[in-house]
Amino acid sequence: MRQTSHRPPQVSRPERQDAELRGHTSPISHLAWKPGNQCDQLVSTTSGDKSTRLWDIRTSKCVAITNTSSGLYVTWCPDGSSYAVMNSDNTLSVMDVRKAGKIVRSHKFPMEVHEVMWGPAINQIMLATNKGCVDVVSLPHLESMWSLRGHSSTCYCFATNSSHKYLATGGADATVTLWDLDDVVSTRTWAHMDHPVRSLSMSHDSKYLAYASELGEVEVLSIETGERLAELRIRTQFSDSVAWNPRHNVLAYCDEMPDMRERSLTGVVGIYAPSKS
Close Cβ partners of 99 (under 8 Å, ≥ 6 residues apart): none
Instruction: Give the C-alpha separation, 276 to 1, whole Å.
Output: 9
Q: Tell me the DSSP string of 4-43.
A: ----SSEE--TTS--EE----SS-EEEEEEPPSTTTTTEE
In the chain, what are the domain boundaries?
2-11+29-273
pLDDT digits (tens, 9 = 90+) for 33-53: 888 765 568 899 988 888 899
Range of weakest confidence among 72-76, 154-158, 198-202? 72-76
- What mean pLDDT comes out for the span 114-124? 83
CATH C-level class of 2-11+29-273: mainly beta
Backbone angles phi, psi at 109, to 5 degrees: -85, 145
pLDDT digits (tens, 9 = 90+) for 177-203: 999 988 888 999 999 888 899 889 999
Whole-model pTM: value is 0.70
